[in-house]
Amino acid sequence: MSRIFDALADAAGVPSAPGWLTGDRAITFAEMDRLSDRVAAGLLRRGIRHGDRIGVLGPTTPEWLVVYFAAAKIGAVVVGLSVRYRENELAHMLGDSGARLVVTVPAHDGVDFVALLERLRDRLPHLDTVVSFGDRSYDELSAEAGPPGEAKVAVAPDDPVMIIYTSGTTGTPKGAVLTHRGQLAAARAQARHMRLGEHDVLPVAVPLNHVSGITCCVLTALVARARAVLLPAFDPREVAGLFTRPGLTLWVGVPTMHTLLLNRPELESVDTSAVRLVVTGGANAEPALLDRLTTRFPNATVMNLYGLSETSGAVLMTAWDDDFETTVATVGHPLPDVEIRVAGPAGTDLPAGETGELLVRSPSLMAGYHGRPRETAETLAGGWLRTGDMACVTGNGAVRLRGRAKEMFVQGGFNVYPVEVENVLAAHPDVVLAAGIGVPDPVLGEIGRYYVVLAPGATTTAEELTAFCAGKIADYKVPKEIVVRDSLPLTPAGKIQKSRLLNEGGDRRR
């Protein structure tokens, strides 16, 4: 059972089980199976065939998932798109993937996506059709029809099912091609580690065009028969309100989401005792944040999760019995069927404690980058994924991240990994977010510039933050520049977008 729609059909064998909740509406696995059958047949009527790419643009809704499962049933490939994307990003991703059809939300947050896509048609020669959720074009796509029988038979486990464009924190996004087998391998490994089951209820507030949403939440819940509460977007006030409902047992998010949620006053009066597991992924767990999570969710185990678009989902997670220090310092151990290595510049394996590039081998690895054979060969050398993350392995086999290889800078001959300094800054009670980059310096070659967002009403100065860091880290790691900002640019997956910080100018310092 290594095809996405097989996993859905298996779950649909329990007709009354509510697979997804959205608002006051419950959608069973069986209903999702029937709805996606109809849309699959509609796609075939539109001329979509095995291997064709379909863009899906919209918030986290059941309709998004209907199209995803429908495409899987005929061997088509979903190109995940975010409602936060605009003209240049959409033109690049749809053009690069060669998408023939786009299913889009009509409008979102003041943007008319139907009109936007029409403006892009001259730049997208492959694009034949734009279908809009909620109007006649989507009604026609989902009209009553028979199941796509022969098309399903032709789908193989190693066929592509989705193209997810890397978030572009360091450059132009590339399309990671994920397979049926790969996404299910990641979902099953994570579900097993999390001890997920039919009794669990998981809010999904992360985007479906990213592995955090589609694999780490939706598919992981599917293979375990858990219920997923779909939220169109992350709203910390709305999420805080969810905990007033009985039955929520898990909470999954990236550190930025956790921070914003914990800052909501509504959460203070909510009973969170039923939550048994909190997962934080996408970046290192800062000590101050981890401390707040363990305090606010007193009966929950807090776990780190590490994964990439290129791994289809999670490949490392901390253990159930890890103590606070281990959870802060590491992103955990390999999940089932995952192998890791830490390699030096020459590609040779390094012993425990030494820092090199983290390499991963797993059944969940992407097939490659769409249309980029050279980058694929470089990244998947010898069957091992070069993650681009610098790491070391501790004495007990856990992985400690040191930062992105491309984010490291050399200051006066010393290697500096910004994540280490970011963790120190984030421990300051007035700091909400922190992000560091290396910038040119005529004397030291490069120096660290750190951007911080302060808590509302805080008046802490850059000088005070610099003094806070001194004595906690080596003097060459202490920030040379600190920029206080009202906000930081985020990728659609909620990570701080350092590429934009590198390109910005005219910052306000204080």
- Specify if 494 maps to a domain: yes
Task: DSSP letter for 39, please.
Answer: H
- C-beta atoms surrounding 267 within 10 Å: 18
pLDDT of res. 77? 98
> Domain of 229: which CATH number?
3.40.50.12780
Q: Based on the domain organization, do 293 and 374 belong to the same domain?
A: yes
Question: What three-state secondary structure class fits 169?
Answer: coil
Q: Based on the domain organization, do 341 and 365 belong to the same domain?
A: yes
Q: Which of 382, 408, 403, 380 is nearest to 392 (CA)?
A: 403
Question: At which residue do the structure tokens 């990994």 appear?
Answer: 417
CB-based contact 428:422 (threshold 8 Å): no
Q: Based on the domain organization, do 122 and 74 belong to the same domain?
A: yes
CA dihedral 308, 311, 313, 315 (to 10 degrees): -90
pTM of the predicted structure, to 2 decimals: 0.83
- Specify if 160 maps to a domain: no
Residues 6+ apart with CB under 8 A from 438: 407, 408, 409, 410, 411, 416, 418, 446, 447, 448, 449
Alpha carbon of residue 323 to chain centroid: 25
- Specify if 176 maps to a domain: no
- C-beta atoms surrounding 38 within 10 Å: 19
CB-based contact 449:479 (threshold 8 Å): yes
Question: At which residue do the structure tokens 């290129």 appear?
Answer: 310
Which two tokens mark 270? 């909510």
Domain end point (choices 341, 376, 404): 404
Q: Across the chain, how many H-helices and E-strands are there?
A: 18, 27
Total structural domains within the chain: 3
Q: Which of 105, 161, 110, 111 is nearest to 137 (CA)?
A: 105
Alpha carbon of residue 201 to chain centroid: 19
Domain end point (choices 346, 381, 404): 404
- Specify if 174 maps to a domain: no
Domain end point (choices 374, 404, 434): 404
Q: Based on the domain organization, do 151 and 81 belong to the same domain?
A: yes
Rounded to whole angstroms, the Cα distance separating 506 from 498 reads 16
CB-based contact 476:414 (threshold 8 Å): yes
Beta bridge partners of 303: 279
Rounded to whole angstroms, the Cα distance separating 342 from 351 reads 8
- Specify if 164 maps to a domain: no
Q: Which secondary structure element, helix H or strand E, spans residue 238, and what is its range?
A: helix 236-242
Rounded to whole angstroms, the Cα distance separating 111 from 132 reads 14
Q: Based on the domain organization, do 392 and 419 belong to the same domain?
A: no
Q: Based on the domain organization, do 148 and 188 belong to the same domain?
A: no
Question: At which residue do the structure tokens 């992407």 appear?
Answer: 366
Q: Based on the domain organization, do 94 and 112 belong to the same domain?
A: yes
> Domain of 489: which CATH number?
3.30.300.30
CA dihedral 458, 461, 462, 463 (to 10 degrees): -140
Q: Based on the domain organization, do 206 and 336 belong to the same domain?
A: yes
- C-beta atoms surrounding 24 within 10 Å: 5
Q: For residue 480, report the phi and psi dihedrals to the nearest 5 degrees.
A: -85, -30
Task: Provide the residue-wise pLDDT of the chain in tens; the chain has 510 residues.
Answer: 789 999 999 999 987 778 999 988 999 999 999 999 999 999 999 999 999 999 999 999 999 999 999 999 999 999 999 888 888 889 989 999 999 999 999 999 898 999 999 999 999 999 999 999 988 899 989 887 777 878 899 999 999 999 999 854 445 689 999 999 999 999 999 999 999 999 999 999 988 999 999 999 999 999 999 999 999 988 999 999 998 887 899 999 988 788 889 989 989 888 999 999 999 986 666 788 899 999 999 999 999 999 999 999 999 999 999 998 888 889 999 999 999 999 998 889 999 999 899 999 999 999 999 999 999 999 998 999 999 888 999 988 899 887 666 676 767 666 677 877 888 898 899 999 999 988 887 767 778 999 999 999 999 999 999 999 986 777 778 899 999 999 998 876 667 888 788 777 434 333
Angle, CA of 462, 417 and 487, to the nearest 5°: 45
Q: Which secondary structure element, helix H or strand E, spans residue 450, and what is its range?
A: strand 445-454
372: left (phi over 0), alpha (psi -120 to 50) or beta: beta
- Specify if 352 maps to a domain: yes
- Specify if 167 maps to a domain: no
Strand 53-57 to 77-81 pairing = parallel
Q: Based on the domain organization, do 314 and 421 belong to the same domain?
A: no
- Specify if 474 maps to a domain: yes
Residue-number span of the structural domain to which 384 is assigned: 184-404
Rounded to whole angstroms, the Cα distance separating 318 from 65 reads 29
CB-based contact 80:163 (threshold 8 Å): yes
Alpha carbon of residue 246 to chain centroid: 27
> Domain of 102: which CATH number?
3.40.50.980
Q: Based on the domain organization, do 349 and 493 belong to the same domain?
A: no
Residues 6+ apart with CB under 8 A from 236: 257, 260, 261, 263, 264
Rounded to whole angstroms, the Cα distance separating 496 from 60 reads 21
Angle, CA of 70, 74 and 80, to the nearest 5°: 55
Strand 107-108 to 101-104 pairing = unpaired
Q: Based on the domain organization, do 61 and 34 belong to the same domain?
A: yes
Strand 445-454 to 431-441 pairing = antiparallel
Q: Based on the domain organization, do 297 and 385 belong to the same domain?
A: yes
Q: Which of 84, 76, 98, 82 is nearest to 162 (CA)?
A: 76
Q: What is the biggest distance separating any 2 CA atoms in the chain, rounded to whole angstroms?
A: 71
Which two tokens mark 321? 């019995």
How long is the chain?
510
